Every structure is written in C-alpha cells, then in structure tokens.
C-alpha cells in the first residue's frame, strides 16, 4: 500500500508569508491603501481601488484593516466554478487569474472577510496577490503597522495584540 504525502507539511505552511496588521501602531494615514492603488491599478491614487481597506471607528478610537489572509484552505478557491483562483503551494499566495475569471462573484460572497472585490468596469473580481511577495503596502507603511511575516510569526503577533488582559485575581491562581 502506497502512502502519499501532501505537498506541504504544517511546518512548510507555517513558514509561508502573509500580512499582519498591528492596530496599536497604525496612525490611520492610509498610505498603505494609496501604495496598493498606485501599484495595482495603473498609477491611480484611489481609496476605492485598493486591495487593503481600513475601517476607522472614530467613536471608539479604533482602526482595523481588512486584507486577504491568503488562507491555508481558501474558500474562494474551492468555490470558483471555473478554477480561476490558484494557490502557490510554495509561497501560499492565492491569486485570481483575470483571464480565467468570469465575474460571477462567488468568491466575493464566500470569503469570510469579503475581500475579493468585483470591478464592474473590468467585469472580474480582484484581490490582493501580495505584490508577488513584495507587498507595496508594507513598504509604504511608515509606522510599520503592516508586516509581511510568516504565518507562525503572525500568530504570535496577533495573540499579543488581542490577548485578554489578566485580572489581578487570575494572576494569583
């Protein structure tokens, strides 16, 4: 009986690089959005044409950032009826091939973060491709709130950012 192994082990996947956002460092300048727009939409400066989006809640003084997680098991890829979405086994980058996309918007609907965006003028959905491993948003984020790190490092950073503060009574136990 032959045993087949998956292409990537968990260790390999943990070493793939993704974006991570540290809301503690973000100033809300949105230069990452402008860098993405300029880089990906033909020298256009637009908050509408970007693959990274900020949600700024002025009432609460909070900033969050929405961007593609390049999921380990992407729902967008699994749901595409024409297999226009591909994941690079080595880098983990998930891309939509614009020549194969039929604009059905299934990926937009199934993505838990609603990241792929349909562009009516192009008649296709588009999402972040990590600038092929050299993300412009990271380069232009002067407070360094966006990092391009391994999944393993991202888990540690996110745990630190969102960890629940301990109550004094919990610390004594």
In the chain, what are the domains? 21-67+132-159 (3.30.70.20), 70-127 (3.30.70.20)
Question: pTM value?
Answer: 0.84
Of all residues in the chain, the percent with pLDDT exceeding 70 is 88
Nearest to 123 by CA among 146, 105, 96, 143: 105
Chain segment 22-70, per-residue pLDDT in tens: 999 999 999 999 999 999 998 888 899 999 999 988 888 889 999 999 9
Strand partners, 149: 18
pLDDT value at 3 more than 50: no
DSSP codes of every residue in 79-111: H-TT--EEE-TTT--EEE-TTT-----HHHHH-
3-state SS assignment for residue 86: strand
Chain segment 121-147, per-residue pLDDT in tens: 999 999 999 999 999 999 999 999 999
What lies within 8 Å, CB to CB, of 75 at 6+ separation is 110, 111, 112
């Amino acid at each position: 009986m032959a045993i087949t192994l998956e292409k990537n082990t968990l260790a390999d996947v943990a070493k793939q690089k993704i974006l991570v956002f540290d809301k503690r460092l973000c100033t809300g300048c949105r230069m990452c959005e402008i860098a993405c727009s300029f880089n990906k939409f033909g020298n256009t400066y637009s908050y509408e044409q970007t693959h990274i989006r900020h949600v700024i809640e002025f009432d609460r003084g909070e900033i969050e950032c929405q961007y593609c997680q390049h999921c380990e098991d992407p729902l967008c890829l699994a749901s595409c009826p024409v297999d226009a979405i591909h994941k690079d086994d080595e880098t983990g980058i998930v891309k939509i091939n614009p020549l194969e996309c039929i604009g059905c918007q299934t990926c937009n609907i199934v993505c838990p973060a609603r990241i792929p965006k349909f562009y009516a003028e192009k008649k296709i959905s588009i999402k972040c491709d990590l600038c092929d491993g050299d993300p412009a948003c990271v380069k232009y984020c002067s407070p360094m709130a966006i990092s391009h790190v391994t999944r393993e490092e991202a888990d540690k950073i996110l745990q630190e950012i969102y960890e629940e503060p301990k109550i004094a009574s919990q610390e004594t136990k």
